[in-house]
Structures are given as structure tokens and as C-alpha cells.
Amino acid sequence: MARTPRPRSAPAAPRNAASKNGILYPLDLAYTIAGVPAPTVREISPKDIPFPYRGLLVHENDMTLTLERHFGGAVGLRTLSTVQNGSWYLRRVLLVQEYSGRPVEMGAIRVKIDVFPARVRSQILRNERPLGRVLRDGGVDFRSQPRVFLAVEPNPEMMGVFWMREPRTLYGRQTEMFSGGAKVGDIVEILPLV
């Protein structure tokens, strides 16, 4: 099994440094750090999201579990990039079906890792399992609260990781993650063509 590279440190960037409107944060921050242009994105009403995307995005459940139920099996993690700055950890990942390798989500999370028990924190930093599964298995009480739903025109990099031949509108959401009553992270989740 290949070793996951250790997270690198980066200078802190203001929350809205990477995007004018902040609706793609923290994915836009991960792209800025990597020097990759972010996709074009606009806010969309949940009622305007077509099915099956609406059922996969418009809820407050754990996205890992939602995707596993929809696709009928476990999802694995492929880490695309990581950055650690003090107690904040940013990672951009691709969730894939374990049995086929098919991409089922690209996500970016910026999470305050020091709020979690040492064992959970260590598992997060290993980048071997989806965050939702790590937190559930670690007994961490958490919830995701969607803030904004997104219509995304993918950039070339996103088209590549999602195996797309031509650009088509994708859908996603920006959520805030809470644990123990406090906000502990920001997440953007983009779904491939379903």
C-alpha cells in the first residue's frame, strides 16, 4: 500500500481570499493553494436541483453514508491534496466506489482537528477513510448543515477526476460541520454525473 504524503504547512489565508462570494469555500482555497483555476459556480435553489442529485444533496445527513446507500456499497478515499496550518486541516479528496473505483464525489473540508479525540484525529490525518466513516466509527456526534446548494461548471481538472468527456453542469453543496454544539469545519461536496 502506498504511503500517503504528510500534510504540508501553508500560510493562513483569509476565509474569503480565494473566492469573491465564498460559496465554494474551502474548495476554492484548495485550488488556489494548488495554483489551479476554480470552476465556475452559482447558487441554486434546492427545488431547482434535478433528481437524483436533489436526494443526494438536500439533507443534513452524513454524506458518506448517503453515498454508500445510494451506490449500494462502501466508498473509499483518494486524497488529492492536504494542508495543515496549526489546528486547521484542509484536504481535497475524491470519494470512489470501493469495488469499481468510480468517482462518486469530490470534496474539500477545512476542519479544526484538535476538537477530536487523539485516535480520531490520527485517523483523519492518515487520509485512508472518508471523514464521515472515521467520525461515526470513532463515536463522534456530528452533523452537517447545508448552507448553499451549487450548480457547477467544471474546470478541466474536475472533468478529469470525474472521467468527463465534455463539460456539463454538476451539482453540489457547501455545508458547515458541527460537533458538540460548535462549528468545527466547512465542507464543499460536488457530485459527478449520476
Over residues 182-194, the pLDDT tens digits come to 999 999 999 999 8
- State the pLDDT at residue 113: 95
126/179 Cα distance (integer angstroms): 21
What's the pLDDT tens digit per position in 133-183? Answer: 999 999 999 999 999 999 999 999 999 999 999 999 999 999 999 998 999
Q: What are phi and psi of 20, to 5 degrees?
A: -70, -35
* pLDDT value at 16 more than 50: no
**Where do the structural domains in the chain lie, given as residue ranges?**
39-191
Residue predicted with more confidence, 21 or 120 = 120
* pLDDT grade for 2, boundaries at 50, 70 and 90: very low
> What separation in angstroms does the CA of 105 have from each of 11, 27, 77, 133, 180?
27, 13, 10, 15, 26
21/43 Cα distance (integer angstroms): 10
Is residue 157 within 8 Å of residue 40, measured between CB atoms? no
Class of domain 39-191: alpha beta
